[in-house]
Amino acid sequence: MDKQVDVKRQKQIKEVERQRWVVWTILALMYIFVTFHRMATGVVRADLQETFGIGAAQFANIGSMYFYAYFIMQIPSGILADKLGPKKTVTIFSILAAIGSVIFGLAPTLTIAYIGRFLVGIGVSVVFICLIKIQSRWFYSKNFALMIGFAGLAANAGALLAQTPLVYAASAFGWRSTFVYLGIVMLFFTALTMIFVKDDPTEKGLPGMDELEGRAAVKNDVKVGEALKSVMSNPGTWIAGIVNIGLYVGYVVLLGQFGGSFLMTAYGLTQIQAANLIMSAVFGSAVGSIAIGYVSDRIKKRKIILVLLSALTLVGWILFIYVKVPTGLLALLLFALGFVMTNFTMTWTIANEVNDRRLSGIATGVVNCVAFAGAAIIPVIMGKILDANNANLFGGYQKAFLVLIGFVGISVAASFFATETNAQNVYKENK
C-alpha cells in the first residue's frame, strides 16, 4: 500500500514539474511584450520626433507615460496578484495593453500618443509581478533567484526585439503599423493565458509547493491593509527599492531611451550600428540575469553579489560616458555593462525573502514602485538637459548622464545596507 502511495506521489511531483513550465512559459512570453514596449520608443525616436514635431524632452515624455502608468500600478498590481490571482489579473489587463498599443500606432496627435502609451503601461504593469507570484507558487524556493534570472531572460528577449529587429520592422511596415500589429498579436497570447495558466498546482488537483517543501500551507487570506503595512514598514523593502532605482533606470536609459542616440552622437554611428551595439548590452543582460541568479543560489548569498555588481555598474557607466573607448571595444564594454547592471534582479529576490512569503506580489510591487518612479522622471530631466544643450550635443549628453550616474551612486551606497538572507525567507512577524 505504501509503495502504491509513493508511486502516486512521484507521479504527482513529476506532473507539477511538467505543468509549471507550461504556465511559466506563457507568462514569460507575455513579459516579452512588456519589455518590448518599454524599450521600443528609443529605437523609433527619430520617427516619433518627425511625426509629431517634438524635441528630446517631449520624446522622453512619450516613454515616461509608460512608466508613470507602471509606477501608479505597482502596488495595486501586487494586491491584485495576491488577492485576485495572476491568471485573471494578466488576462484582464493585457487586453487593455493591446488596445493601448493600437491607439498609439494610430495616434493623430501627440496627446493621443500619450494616452496610448499610458494605457499600454497600465495594461502590462501587472505581468512581471504576476510572473513572480507564479514562480513562488509553482517552483521550489531554493531556485527563486535562478527563476528571476529566467524572467530576466524573457525581459531581455523583449529588449532584443526592440533593437535592430524593430528598426527593420519600422522600415518595412512603418512605426504605426508595427504597434498596431503588436496589439493584435498580444490578444492571441492573452487567450493562451486565459486557457492554460493556473495560479497554483492545487487548482489542477496536484500538491502545492507548501506541501512539497514540508512547510505550513500558505492560505490566500491576505488582508490588504495589514499586508501593505507589513511590507511598507519593513526597512528591507525600501533598501531593495533604492538599490533598484539607479540600476534599473540605467538599464532603461541605455536600452530604451538615450543609449543608441548617444552612440550615434559620440561615435558618429548609423542607427543600425548603434542598435547593434546596444544589442551587445542586451546579450550581456541576458547572460547576467541567469548567471547572477545561478551563482547566488549556489553560494546562498545575496548581499555580496548586490554590493559588488552595483559598484561595477557605477564604474561601467563612468567609462561608457566619459572615456573615449576604441570603437572595437565598445561591444565588449556594453556587454559587461549590461551584465553587471542586471544586478537589479537581486533586489526582487531580497525583497521577497525579507517579507512574508504570502505577500510576494506586494513586496515586488513596492520595490518596482520606487524604480519606476525614477524611470518616469529621470529620463525627462535628462531630455530637458539635452534640449538646453543643442549647440553642443555631446557635452549635453555628458551633463545629462551625470544625473543618472548620481542615482547609480546612491544605489551603490544603499546596497551596503541590504539584508543578507542566505537564500532563504528570513521574515519574522513582529508581535
Report percent pLDDT > 90 for the chain. Answer: 47
Q: Which tens digit of pLDDT belongs to each residue from 74-101?
A: 888 888 888 889 999 999 999 999 999 9
- For 90, 107, 269, 373, the CA distances from 370, given in Å and listed in that order, are 22, 30, 34, 5
Using pLDDT thresholds of 50, 70 and 90, give the confidence band for residue 431: very low
Is 186 inside a domain boundary? yes
Residue 174 region, left (φ>0) first, then alpha (ψ -120 to 50), else beta?
left
Instruction: Return the half-sphere exposure (C-beta side, CA atoms, 13 A cut-off) of residue 109.
Output: 3
**pTM of the prediction?**
0.76
Is 233 inside a domain boundary? yes
Using pLDDT thresholds of 50, 70 and 90, give the confidence band for residue 397: very high
In this prediction, residues 52-66 reach a mean pLDDT of: 86
Q: What CATH number corresponds to the domain at position 364?
A: 1.20.1250.20
Domain of residue 173: give its range: 13-196+223-415
In this prediction, residues 390-406 reach a mean pLDDT of: 93
Q: Which tens digit of pLDDT belongs to each residue from 224-259?
A: 788 888 998 999 999 999 999 999 999 889 987 789
Using pLDDT thresholds of 50, 70 and 90, give the confidence band for residue 430: very low
Is 243 inside a domain boundary? yes
Is 348 inside a domain boundary? yes
Q: Tell me, what's the pLDDT at 2?
A: 59
Q: Which tens digit of pLDDT belongs to each residue from 356-379?
A: 887 877 888 889 888 888 888 898
Q: Which residue has the cell 489542477?
A: 204
Is 203 inside a domain boundary? no
In this prediction, residues 25-34 reach a mean pLDDT of: 92
Is 216 inside a domain boundary? no
Among the listed residues 343, 347, 355, the one whose alpha carbon sits nearest the alpha carbon of residue 424:
355
CA separation for the pair 281, 290 (Å, rounded) = 15
How many domains are contained in the chain? 1
Q: How far is CA 337 from the centre of its chain?
A: 17
Q: How far is CA 64 from the centre of its chain?
A: 15
pLDDT(406) > 70: yes
Considering 195-204, 227-236, 311-320, the range whose residues carry the highest mean pLDDT is 311-320
Is 1 inside a domain boundary? no
Is 422 inside a domain boundary? no
Find the range with the poorest average confidence among 24-33, 177-186, 203-212, 333-342. Answer: 203-212
- What type of residue is 46? A
